[in-house]
A and B are shown apart, each in its own frame.
Chain A
Amino acid sequence: MTEKSENMPAPLSSSALFQEQVKRTFRSNKLTGLGAVIFLLVLLAAVFAPLLSTHDPLIQNILDRLEGPSAQFWMGTDAYGRDIYSRLLYGARISLTIGGVAILSAMVIGTAIGIIAGYYGGKVDDVIMQFNDILLAFPTLILGLIVVAMLGPSMQNMIIAISLTSIPGFARIARAPTIVVRERDFIEACRALGYRDWRIMVFHILPNVTSEVLVMASLWLATAIRTEASLSFIGLGVKPPAATWGGMIREGFENILDNPWLSIFPGLAILLVVFSLNLLGDGLRDAIDPKTRVD
């Protein structure tokens, strides 16, 4: 028996069923795979931006301003003579960091709120979900705008703003399966084993909720990146001269008739990321939704 210790279970694995479904989805649905590959490439580009970039994204070179794409400047230069390609790479870092951190924290907080509301039900549920619905009633961009306008534009405040706008959605997504799982016999069995409420929520309900939450996280990451770009576009994002995609589009706007690539390249970058995340999220959603699942 002791020599079997390598057969001991991994600590709290998440849903095996979900993993199985995800594998099946990637095999059967090429678009989901494409989305995953594109997003992964963008992620790698952001991580290795210092290696991949050809110029310093911040150094201005007035002599080379507004150049078209060339061997030296792959995507041309902006009005200050900065290399667009290098700025795009560094912009990916900011967009993905803000989007990623915001969605991650919203996912943790929103899921916790949703599980607590769903598990306890009754008045706790009523109060939490009423408040949640009020937040949900605001369009994401407007809510983000209000928060950033109040706190002032900075990376940290952008994260807070986008996170706040995403929390109610996660709470709603986590609450629904919690209400279903709460009534299942194994939760009663947990109570009969003397487990505390928090233990039941963390170790027994959460693993049953993660697949839904993760799917929505990939879709909402796209929304978060769009919101970040929109806020940067209207000048409420990370302060210049830092490169952000939304900020680059706005800067390009001033010369859009003569040098449209200034806005086109960052626009394409946003499109690519949002598109890849939507492909990925839709595929994953199909994988867990029995109504759209094709066996």
Chain B
Amino acid sequence: MHTMPNSIQSSESNPDIILDVRKLRTSFRIAGEWHAAVRDISFTLRRNETLALVGESGCGKSVTALSVLDLVPSQNGRIEAEQIQFNGRNLLGLSEDEMREIRGNRISMIFQEPMTALNPVLSVGHQVAEALLYHRDMNKEEANRAALELLDQVKIPSASSRFKEYPHQFSGGMRQRVMIAMALACRPDIILADEPTTALDVTIQSQILALLGELKRDTGMSLIFITHNLGVVASIADRVAVMYAGNIVEIADVDSLFAHPTHPYTEALMRSIPRSDRDTETLHSIPGQVPPISRMPDGCRFAARCDLARPICRKLDPALQQINAGSTHEVACWVRGDHDLTAIEDRANG
């Protein structure tokens, strides 16, 4: 009944696909009960591709990234999935030691707050070199030299004289460059960037985006870019997955998404972007709020805030489906998707 999303069908042993996540479900224990923060999401990432995960706070974007690296706290968090295939290898069965070989080495991460994501009592050069010392067979001098090259590569001015300086001597943008240098140190296949520009002001933001784009082009790495800012998405992403309350509700190439936003949530998000080229009296906002993780409704989770919602939306959860045959644009919506609604509603009622 549910069509398989085409991203899954095409991924079988496709060497072009670096990361293939299927039915990832990450749950947290809240007051003794398990609640899914990410609910059976599937996506693929191609080599040298930038996939943006977009959605508002608490929709599961960051949890998705942490789940890929198995960094969800084990006492209160649980990761289940059909597979998390990285470079043809399923990360799910790996031991903690094997995962440590992947983290920071093959898949690394950039965090949102450059102010707190660097150790305040260690020099920045040291922190970049440490990643190399740890994962690479280098002595201290080689690691320091490579770290200096990395700081140059992320365009920190007079890097050699700033090598020994501490994070508090750097501005937010410069710190984020240091974070990028650390993530880049071992030439990973994938960088997970968790809102790397959110804490920065707009001019710095565009510099960091340009830098990431450049590094991606030069190194051939792939990027998963987590953000709630659609403007940022437009400037950096190749493909976009829109997340809402733990689900991917729409996934498409960036051009297709901006040209034909299909899911009512995506549409609403687009309308909430302030635009200078249009005369608007008020900024559109989406009525209602995201349901709390412990009280998720049945059916489509956006139904309560959706103008188009029909009875079926509150009963059954729609799966991702191509908007038309052969398209790479997929949406999870009963109304906007390619569904024979009357038949489904009849079946649901009968």
Contact = CB atoms under 8 A, between A and B. Distances in A.
Given A1-B160, A9-B126, A17-B121, A194 B141 contact: no
Contacts of A10: 164
Interface string A7-35: 11111111111100000000000000000
A123 to B, nearest CB: 10
A124 to B, nearest CB: 12
B130 A203 contact: yes
A192 interface: yes
A14 B166 CA distance: 11
Interface in A148-196: 184-186, 188-189, 191-196
B103 A16 contact: no
B160 A208 contact: no
Contacts, number: 105
Interface string B64-85: 0000010100010000000000
A290 interface: no
Given A10-B164, A122-B75, A15 B121 contact: yes
Contact of A7 (B108, B120, B160, B179): B160
A193 B164 contact: no
Contacts of B109: 189, 192
B168 A196 contact: no
Interface residues of B, number: 44
A13 B134 CA distance: 18
B19 interface: no
A204 interface: yes
Contacts of B123: 9, 13
B34 to A, nearest CB: 19
B12 to A, nearest CB: 29
Residue from A1, A16, A17 whose CB has the most chain B CB atoms within 10 Å: A16
B119 A208 contact: yes
B310 interface: no
**Chain A: interface secondary structure?**
helix
A9 B101 CA distance: 26
Given A9-B163, A191-B103, A194-B103, A17 B120 contact: yes
A1 B145 contact: yes
Nearest to A13: B123
A289 to B, nearest CB: 17
Nearest to A199: B134
A2 B135 CA distance: 23
Contacts of B296: none
Interface in B114-164: 116-123, 125-126, 129-131, 134-135, 140-141, 144-145, 148-149, 160-161, 163-164
A185 B116 contact: yes
B111 A194 contact: no
Contacts of B118: 186, 189
Residue from A9, A10, A196 whose CB has the most chain B CB atoms within 10 Å: A9
A8 B104 contact: no
A219 B116 CA distance: 31
B335 interface: no
Q: How large is the interface on A (under 10, 10 to 19, 20 to 34, 35 or more residues)?
A: 20 to 34
A194 B104 contact: yes
Given A189-B111, A194-B134, A207-B122, A8 B102 contact: no
Contacts of B112: 185
B121 A16 contact: yes
A292 interface: no
A193 B131 contact: yes
A204 B121 CA distance: 8
Contact of A8 (B111, B121, B141, B166): B141
Contact of A9 (B100, B116, B117, B164): B164
B105 A11 contact: no
A75 to B, nearest CB: 46
- Pick the 10 closest A-B CB pairs, nearest first: A193-B104, A194-B103, A192-B109, A194-B100, A194-B104, A185-B117, A185-B116, A4-B160, A207-B121, A15-B121
Given A186-B119, A193-B134, 17 more contacts: A8-B141, A8-B144, A9-B125, A13-B126, A185-B113, A185-B116, A186-B117, A186-B118, A189-B111, A189-B118, A192-B108, A193-B130, A193-B131, A194-B103, A194-B135, A199-B134, A203-B122
Interface of A: 1-2, 4-5, 7-18, 122, 184-186, 188-189, 191-196, 199, 203-204, 207-208
Interface of B: 69, 71, 75, 99-105, 108-109, 111-113, 116-123, 125-126, 129-131, 134-135, 140-141, 144-145, 148-149, 160-161, 163-164, 166, 168, 179, 182
24 contacts: A1-B145, A1-B149, A4-B148, A5-B141, A5-B145, A7-B164, A8-B141, A9-B126, A9-B163, A9-B164, A18-B121, A186-B118, A186-B120, A188-B111, A193-B103, A193-B130, A193-B134, A194-B104, A194-B134, A194-B135, A196-B100, A203-B130, A204-B119, A207-B119
